[in-house]
Structure 1
Amino acid sequence: MTENRNLKALGMIVVYATIIGFTDNFVKVIADQAGLWQFHATRTVMAVALLWAVARPLGLRLGMVVPRMVVARSFIHGCAMVIYFGALGFLPVALVAAGLFTAPIFVLLIERLFYGAPISALGALAVALGFAGVVMVLGPEAFAGASLPALLPVIAGALYAMGNIATRRWCPQESAETLLAGFFIALGIAGAIGMVVLSLHPLIVPAGPEGFLLRGPVVPTGAFWFWTFVQAAGSLLGVGLMVRAYQIAEASRVSVMEYVILPASAAWTWVLWGEGLSPLAVAGMALIVAAGVLISVTKRA
């Protein structure tokens, strides 16, 4: 029975990674048109509206069983994503991604320290393989020039791990759609606050994607509306599957399965933009896939 849940969770994560890998490739198009905060606020309005529209026909349950736990989880996950996207404003993408994908290590450590969960040798090996694969995919430049600001993506990784553990430990009775709505609302609130602050205190903003973090509200273009809607719809489905995966399987397993998003994103980058991969990156992807398979078929990590 446990094996079936693990395989189901793995399938959900693969679909999630395929969807998110596609939609995230167009964030650079959005960044050229508007700011991070306007993007988060607009995407939340679209995603919540879509979720509300399909809730009744699909029989979805949006009510909260334990509101304080849902709010706490949404706040933690929201902070992780705000820090992650914020760090993209002044750090290389490779460094930020490498920091966020320390999350599986934090999952194992947090569950061991606070919940007494054992760490098996195979579980530790899977995490090591997955992280080594991440480093190989991103390349040596991922850790070049490490400094205090470089710790921000690692902090995001720790918060992301806490939110993933909270999904199963704090919110086992909540529906996936309830947690999904909480996730988007938290990001939407952060986006609205950012828009207000930058409206009252506008900054000098570089043109193009370099101004993504600092740009206040602007008049949206057609490209912004279209790709933000694609992001909203894709994220709604993808993140919903990810949340459900964390509900049916152990967080330590699912967090390692999430490594599959890297090869998925890289594959879409090649298909959409024609950007190839080095042999080192391909070898890293093989390790990432091996880690996901290993963690899904072994006993509890």
Structure 2
Amino acid sequence: MTEALNRPAAGILFVIAGILAISVNDLLIKLLSGGYPLHEMVFIRSGIGICFSLVLVQLEGGWQILKTKTPGLHLLRGGLVVVSNLSYFAALAVLPLADATALFFVAPLMITLLSIPILGEKVGPWRMGAVVVGFGGVILMMQAWRGESAPADVHWLILVLPMFSALTYALNQLMTRKLGVASKASAMAVYIQAMFILVSLGFFLVAGDGRFAQDASNESIIFLLRAWVWPEGPDRWLFLGLGLNSAIIGYSLGQAYRLASAATVAPFEYLGLPLAVFWGWVIWAEFPAPLVLAGIALIMGSGLFVFLRERIKSRPMIKKRVHRRY
């Protein structure tokens, strides 16, 4: 029996630590979204995170582990992760934290559907039923945002952004599993952080002066394209927290899936949903409407059922990790 199956308690503790860090990361992004552009936040976050990741590279084998025979694959994977993150955080600037998080959690349902044409897997009626129920939860949440109490400036495309984030995340997971990338966790983290840095620098060179945001009225567009502002006062500590969280997320989740089977630890990633509801209630006095709560329950229940069904059938679970945002 390998080490990955020998320490389930440690694996669970690490995944809980990782999900806590992710919830704090989303909280900090939303707190800072009103005064800073997303590309600046990503640049500073990844700049700090890559420093910690390089330290882990040294601990896991030195600079040679950064060499790869599949640079194109890593580039494509990094691009998918960047798109997934940017679309999710753009939605987070407008939507309540719990709503955006719940809509992102359709990722395992999308993975289940996409595994049919991409991986040639067979999906039985139980799992397909769970997928239908989960997307029923999405429809409920969207109906809640179409009511009279919904903000007039929230376009339906904003609601699609977290699901587009989940789709690109699902494609990334399926691509990684299909092509069998074999790299150290620290090296993979460095590739992702480097991609974030390059993309955010590109945003800065093109839109760093804020000229494209001057006539924009949509909060997500403004968040993406507003001018770079150097952090001052307490905000510097929040940015430092973003960088530290970036390193904690990558290390904790990597350790979790190394020390225990994915079937054991993956369901604990759904702790991110109640944590998002909690932070939204405590910080912004946001509490989901009844329809939204019903949608969250359906998405969470169907996702956990898919995990359980996979575990019963003894299938690999690495593809079902949900909230691993770097």
Q: TM-score, normalised by structure 1?
A: 0.76
Displacement of 1:221: 1.3
Which moved further from structure 2: 149-158 or 274-283? Answer: 274-283
CA contact under 8 A between 1:37 and 1:213: conserved in structure 2?
Answer: yes
CA contact under 8 A between 1:47 and 1:184: conserved in structure 2?
Answer: yes
Q: Write out per-residue CA displacement over residues 75-106 of structure 1, whole angstroms, 9 at most, x where no aligned residue.
A: 111122223334556x6457755653332232
Distance in 2 (CA, whole Å) between partners of 1:10 and 1:125 is 28
Distance in 2 (CA, whole Å) between partners of 1:163 and 1:64 is 21
Distance in 1 (CA, whole Å) between partners of 2:295 and 2:164 is 24
2:46 aligned residue: 44
Gaps of 5+ in 2: 318-326
Q: Write out per-residue CA displacement over residues 16-47 of structure 1, whole angstroms, 9 at most, x where no aligned residue.
A: 32221122112232223321111111111110
Correspondence 1:1-301 to 2 at 5 A: 4=5, 13-57=15-59, 62-65=65-68, 66-87=70-91, 92-93=95-96, 97=101, 100-132=104-136, 140-141=144-145, 151-199=160-208, 202-203=211-212, 204=214, 211-242=222-253, 254=266, 258-272=269-283, 275-276=286-287, 287=298, 290-294=301-305, 295-296=307-308, 297-299=311-313, 300=315
Q: Which amino acid aligns with 2:74?
A: V
Which moved further from structure 2: 17-26 or 100-109? Answer: 100-109
Q: Write out per-residue CA displacement over residues 31-65 of structure 1, whole angstroms, 9 at most, x where no aligned residue.
A: 23321111111111110012223433465775243
Distance in 2 (CA, whole Å) between partners of 1:139 and 1:264 is 23
Q: TM-score, normalised by structure 2?
A: 0.71
Displacement of 1:161: 0.7
Cα pair distance change 1:19/1:161, threshold 3 Å: same
Q: Which amino acid aligns with 1:29?
A: L
Which moved further from structure 2: 30-39 or 129-138? Answer: 129-138
Q: Write out per-residue CA displacement over residues 98-145 of structure 1, whole angstroms, 9 at most, x where no aligned residue.
A: 653332232122211021111133333444455555666787217988
Displacement of 1:181: 1.9
CA contact under 8 A between 2:30 and 2:92: conserved in structure 1?
Answer: no
Cα pair distance change 1:287/1:164, threshold 3 Å: same
Distance in 2 (CA, whole Å) between partners of 1:99 and 1:292 is 12
Cα pair distance change 1:99/1:266, threshold 3 Å: closer
Distance in 2 (CA, whole Å) between partners of 1:54 and 1:177 is 6
Cα pair distance change 1:102/1:228, threshold 3 Å: same
Which moved further from structure 2: 275-284 or 22-31? Answer: 275-284
CA contact under 8 A between 2:103 and 2:138: conserved in structure 1?
Answer: no
Residue identity over aligned pairs, in percent, reads: 23
CA contact under 8 A between 2:209 and 2:228: conserved in structure 1?
Answer: no
Cα pair distance change 1:244/1:125, threshold 3 Å: farther
Displacement of 1:73: 0.8
Distance in 2 (CA, whole Å) between partners of 1:249 and 1:39 is 33
Q: Write out per-residue CA displacement over residues 162-206 of structure 1, whole angstroms, 9 at most, x where no aligned residue.
A: 112233333441122222222222222221111111236624278
Q: Write out per-residue CA displacement over residues 224-268 of structure 1, whole angstroms, 9 at most, x where no aligned residue.
A: 3211221222122224444666788679x95x7654422222223
Distance in 1 (CA, whole Å) between partners of 2:146 and 2:22 is 21
